Amino acid sequence: MKSGILVLSSVLLFNSSLQADIHRIRTTAADSSRVVFLALTPLSWEQAEHDSLDFIRFSDCPVTDSVGYPELPMITCLVAVPDSVDPKISYSFTDEHTQHVLPVYPSPAMVLFSDLCTASVVDSFVIDSTAYSSTDFWPAERVRLIGETRICDQRLLKIQLFPAQYRAFDSTLVSVTSFSVTVSYNSAEAVWSSIGLGSFQDMAQGSPIVGYQYEDQTYAPMPEYFGVVDPEDGPQNPCRMPDYVILCASGLYAECSNVIDSLAEHRVGLNGFDVATVLTDAVNEDFGEQGQTAINDETIRDFTEYMWNNWPQASVKKPEYLLLIGDHEDASFGSADWFLPTHIYDCNIGKLLIEDIGNDEWYAYMNGNREIDNDIPSMAVGRISIKNGTTIQTDTLSAIIHNIINMEKPVTQIPIPSYRRRITRLTGTGTEIIKNNTGTGYQFPYDWEPSLEWTSDFTEWLNYDFVTSYCGDGRDFTDMDGSLMSSHAWRDQCLSEYGKGAGIMFYSNHGSCHMFSAGLEWLAEYIPRDPYTKGARDSTFNNYQIESSLTAASGHAAPFALLLCCSAGSFNHTVSEHTYPQYYPELCSFEGSVSPPVPAYDFGTDCIGEKLFKNTTVPVAGVFCGSSASLISCYGSYGKGIIEAIFVKGYGRLGDAVMQQRLSYYDFSVSMDGNGIASLGQFNLLGDPALDISDYVRFPNSCDLVVYHGDFEVFPYPVETPAGPEMELSFIVRNNGRKDSEAFSSRITITDGSNTFTDYISCSGIPSKTERIFSYTWACPVWFDTPVELDVEIEADWQNACSDCWRPNNTASDTYQINDIYPFSSGWPVEVTGNISTTPLLLNLNNDPYIEVVALTGTSLTAFDYSGNTLWIVSDEDFQGYVDPLAVDLNLDGQTEILAAYDDGIKVISNTGSVLGKLETDASLFVAGNMHTGTGIEMCTVNGNTLSLYSWDASAMPPGFSEIASEDLGFRPVLPAVFLCCNDLDGDSFEDAVCLNGFFDSSIPPNPEVNSVSAYSWNTEDMIYQHTWNEYLKSISLSAGLLAEEAAIGYPLGKFEGSGYPALLIEPENSVPEISCSGANVLTSNYLMYGVFADWSAPTGADTYVLPSGRQCMAWNNSGEPFGSFPTSNFGGDTESSMVSPASLGNLDDIYSDDVLFSSVLDGDWTILAYNYDGLPLGTASDFPFTLPEDVSAEGGFAVADLDRDGKVEIVFGTNDGLLHCWKLGSCSVGYAPWCQFQHDNGRSGVLE
């Protein structure tokens, strides 16, 4: 966060435990016509200050980047689809939550900041006055298709999800906790690639790529080096598509063909690659324009695209690696033997223009659009940046290639006598130089990413040595400014650490083309001895220091160097730019001065990345570094992603590690317009992309078993069984080594801090470069009691049975919060294709003795038997997953139909899962009942002012609805319809429509402050009741029916602020129809949403209006007086904003009468509660309340019945994590079914008599 932004506190929505950098996304369905994926989106924010104004700023997730507009969470997914189809997108979401918050921090502009550091890209506060006065939500869409790309030969759609929307006018934030997204297409038109993601397809797992289906790859039968080949048609064409392509400057190959060929042969022998070399002169001749004397980037792209699409086997195989050998310069150097240009482009970061970025991976963008400068490449690309023309440079190329080959030779001695098994972190204090009133200052360590904590924890798991150093500040003293290290000590520390080497060595701080610029001095009062150069030569780690002072220590290990800073990878730095630099000429060269004496120096045209790479006496494996100024925010994802790729996933080849990072952290590298941000293209690999630095090549006779805590999955729903609680967990063991592992045993250790459990799992062995998922059912011991925090440790091969080259990474542990034990029925819960945000339907689909379950699962409708087996699924019908479906026998033939809202109206689905017909309408509110003489069961809809009544004709071809009548409710202006139900209110045995209309309090003027309740009889065509209130609407539901034998409407007022009344009972037949429900002992709440009519006292019939809030449960008799001991005591803490689900009724414990069942948020976790008619919580026999796992919500409501006719009542509900639950509770009469859909019945009356 930019200096000046003070973090004050943190707020967590929905109790997110997700503090990692990647949202939880999983593919739930992928077949010939659709891809469905589920994304959980818990959000967290920090409170920040700017110029004494408080804001909230979202953290731990990618965010929108429209400068000056609210900065909000944004997730970008890549969806694999076939070619030649026109995909359609539909989606559902869960737990829409509206709240008023502090203003959302605006997306900052990016500026070059250079007051106290080398020019770097930092945040600058900008607020767009139009955006922050808008009455519209931003972003306007929750889910959108923003574009597409290709990786290898796979078409990928870019879909963005926005889990929060913000309206600045009244600072209203609307958020959701999960998305279920369906991408559907015509399977008859689909053309699937036989290559797909090619060699990168294993990387799709755990990345934002969803819906990908694996393809068998084509491999070289007898790999060979084809030598120098013709880039286009010619006698020297390769006979097969090579795996590894060398594009070499012609003059370099002429001088160094033997050593370049030796690298090619090495790749054939070690990796089993087909290899081909192509020379720049031939590419220019075949693809350059007439008269073109020098090769350019467009010509090279012409070649790579031609090779990709036209070389032999192009339809079944693609090359994996592209190695460039040569150096970049201006076109005036085009005749130089070493000339091999990169792609140069300018890029806007927000409103900041970054110029002269070099991007080698542009040659591997096979997306069909050369205007895209930042994307995911389809080959792993590296460069040996080298010039010839002198003995030194030619020898350097030979030495580099010799070192590459040596780095992949087997190790004969264990342990290795070197610094290889360590990770070194070199970082700095940033710009936090704070001066006090005496003119001196002090520093504090700015935790540059990857952070000290993350890196330390990772190396502790890996059991590598860990070195971290904070840089100085250009001052050769520490007593005045409180700095941690003097500039010369920092410089010497860098020399010492690079002299020793490491497995991974990264620098994260400010950078310049020729140096780690953290040691520069920017305050003039501190540099009287060198007022000209800021200490560029002697106070920084730079090209001069590398040439003059860097020496290899005994046991030096060639590190993979990650230079996570600006400009250190500007290998495109030209002679012209060096001679006439635009900024800070002293950072390129200095002519020297006499007084004070400052020596002359010239760092040359090489960037520091090149200088490190070319220092063959202190070699590095490769250098990953950025061209030009870069965003600091990308350093963490690059560092973590590459380190995880190598040591966890086993992608030891440098290019593969970079590619794995790009895929895993893709949504941190894309902007709101769908294009990649500059950091995606400006970081390049100096080195051989196929060089493997892992133990795979160093220990060919060993396996390398790896267990990592990020690969654990503890199912957070322990189940109660007759033998006691059981809990499922799984973990992955990888064999990243060259040799297949022997059989081994894994040890599982689980502890709560006081008690420990240990068990073992046997494994027959894991082949090289594969992984195995182990599942384990833990029979919980007697000491297991929830809620509890468990530490789970897995150790693979704890008996040392395998020839494993490195054992410390065989063990990992993690901590899990387990909130409760759950009474699941056998076979439940079931994982469904989408999230569930509505109440499931319980109905008899096939006229057998049992009850089936039908639920909206995302945008599909799915049926299950009582054991959780899928019976049928209706997909690709654009169902609105947030609108409750309705079960009704429309034509009274004994077969139940299901009504479900879709994007253009309402569809009718049969009991066998076929779509019978539809009604195209703008209405999404509908009920069914006997409302009109002579037509049986009708469907009533409401849209704005208009009530409509329809009959269903099953005998028509096709079956469909016919409109019987309509009624204008008379509101001017039109009031939006909010809720619809029906029941007989006038005693004529026909059900009457009851409608709630109005504007919510979050609406913006000029919407009127009006809401209304109307009751209309279709049979008599009379308006039984209509009343309008001059205030904004706060509720979303009604109940209607007989209450103590009087027709009544229950109307919760949505919000109670401590005075007045929380609900109304409306008795249309009374002279004073509105009865205020008592507010005595009612706690303030923003969620009074769903009320029901219960039969809680004699005689038979509903007599009590029950209304849960997020803090307590209320109940009143028909006079509005509190019933019995209601309201209950506070169960929700002090928060007024605890949400609440729809309420259901049913006898859950077989004691006297029905209980009320609902869920709310208690102490940050969704909790399922049940109360009996005495206002007491169920707990003795049924163990209520049940606390759901962290980040899991159940806002859709509950259905209640004895599904399997075993005399035990079950409750069925869905959660936002894509699970459908069925819990078995107390005894009941066989076949008991008190509450089978939302608001009880097909009229949505909310009445249980």
Scored b (16 or more CB within 10 A) or e, 515-538 reads bbbbbbbbbeebbeebeebbbbbb
Q: Where in the chain is the domain with CATH 3.40.50.1460?
A: 410-698
Residue 473 predicted with pLDDT over 90: no
Looking at residues 1103-1121, what average pLDDT do you find? 96
Q: Percent of the chain scored above 70 by pLDDT?
A: 93
Q: What's the pLDDT at 402?
A: 96
Averaged over 244-249, what is the pLDDT? 98
153 is written with which tokens? 């030969």
What pLDDT does 1240 receive? Answer: 97
Span 225-381 CATH architecture: 3-Layer(aba) Sandwich (3.40)
User: Can you give the pTM of this predicted structure?
Assistant: 0.93
pLDDT band, very low/low/confident/very high, at 8 (cuts 50, 70, 90): very low
- Stretch 829-835: mean pLDDT: 95
Answer whether residue 15 shows pLDDT above 50: no
Q: Residue 247: is its pLDDT beyond 50?
A: yes
Residue 341 in contact with residue 330, Cβ under 8 Å?
no
Task: Decide if pLDDT at 228 tops 50.
Answer: yes
- Band (pLDDT 50/70/90 cuts) for residue 22 is very low
Q: b/e string for 133-143 if b means 16 or more Cβ within 10 A? A: ebeebbbeebb
Average pLDDT over residues 970-998: 95
Per-residue pLDDT at 435 exceeds 70: no
Report pLDDT for 477.
Answer: 64
705-818 — its CATH code? 2.60.40.10
pLDDT score at 520: 81
- Name the nearest CA neighbour of 411 among 689, 702, 616: 702
Looking at residue 597, its pLDDT comes to 82
Identify the pLDDT of residue 1007.
Answer: 79
Q: CATH 3.40.50.10390 residue ranges in the chain?
A: 225-381
Tokens 């800021």 sit on residue: 534
Confidence of residue 525 (pLDDT cuts 50, 70, 90): low
Q: Where in the chain is the domain with CATH 2.60.40.3800?
A: 9-210
Of the candidates 445, 434, 438, 543, the one whose C-alpha atom is nearest the C-alpha of residue 498 is: 543
CATH 3.40.50.1460 fits 410-698, yes or no: yes
Angle at 1040 between CA 1038 and CA 1046, to 5 degrees: 140
Q: How far apart are CA 837 and CA 1191, in angstroms?
A: 14
What is the C-alpha to C-alpha distance for residues 1209 and 1227, in angstroms, rounded to an integer? 6
Q: What is the mean pLDDT of residues 426-441?
A: 50
Express each pLDDT in 348-380 by its tens digit.
877 788 889 999 999 999 988 999 999 999 999
Of 105-114, 526-535, 1219-1228, the least confident: 526-535
- Phi, psi at residue 1133, to the nearest 5°? 75, -155
The pLDDT score that the predictor gives to residue 575 is 93
Question: Is the pLDDT assigned to residue 573 strictly greater than 80?
Answer: yes
Q: Which residue has the tokens 């730095």?
A: 573
Mean pLDDT of the chain: 90
With a cut of 90, say whether residue 618 has pLDDT above it: yes
pLDDT (mean) for 1187-1201: 96
pLDDT at 936 over 90: no
Contact 40, 178 (CB under 8 A): yes
- Of 436-445, 549-558, 638-647, 652-661, which range is least confident? 436-445
pLDDT of residue 1035: 79
Which pLDDT score is estimated for 527? 56
Where residue 538 falls among pLDDT bands split at 50, 70, 90?
confident
> What would the pLDDT profile of 734-743 be if each residue is shown by its tens digit?
999 999 999 9
Q: What is the average pLDDT across 1059-1066?
A: 95
Q: What is the C-alpha to C-alpha distance for residues 172 and 207, in angstroms, rounded to an integer? A: 32
Question: What tens digit of pLDDT does each residue of 80-138 get?
Answer: 999 999 999 999 999 998 888 999 999 998 877 666 666 667 778 899 999 999 999 99
Residue 20 has pLDDT above 50, yes or no: no
Greater pLDDT, 341 or 392: 341
Residue 443 pLDDT level (bands cut at 50, 70, 90): very low
| pLDDT at res. 5 | 28
CATH fold of 9-210 reads: Immunoglobulin-like (2.60.40)
Mean pLDDT confidence for 534-561: 93
- Which residues are paired to 951 by β-bridges? 938, 962
805 vs 89, 501, 1202, CA distance in Å?
48, 20, 57
Question: In which band, very low, low, confident or very high, does the pLDDT at 9 lie, cut at 50, 70 and 90?
Answer: very low
pLDDT-wise least confident of 304-318, 816-830, 1174-1188: 1174-1188
Beta bridge partners of 912: none
- In this prediction, residue 989 carries a pLDDT of 94
